[in-house]
Amino acid sequence: MDILVCPNRSARNGAWQVRLNTHQVSFRSEAEARAFVDLLQSRLAAPHPLPRQPLAQGA
Extents of the domains making up the chain: 3-44
Beta-sheet strand order (sheet of 23-27): 3-7, 16-20, 23-27
pLDDT tens readout for residues 41-55: 999 999 988 888 777
b/e sequence 11-43, b meaning 16+ C-beta within 10 Å:
eeeebbbbeeeeeeeebeeeeebeebbeeeeee
Looking at residue 58, its pLDDT comes to: 61
Looking at residue 35, its pLDDT comes to: 98
Looking at residue 9, its pLDDT comes to: 87
Looking at residue 20, its pLDDT comes to: 96
Residue-wise pLDDT tens for the chain (59 aa)? 899 999 998 887 889 999 999 999 999 999 999 999 999 999 999 998 888 877 766 65
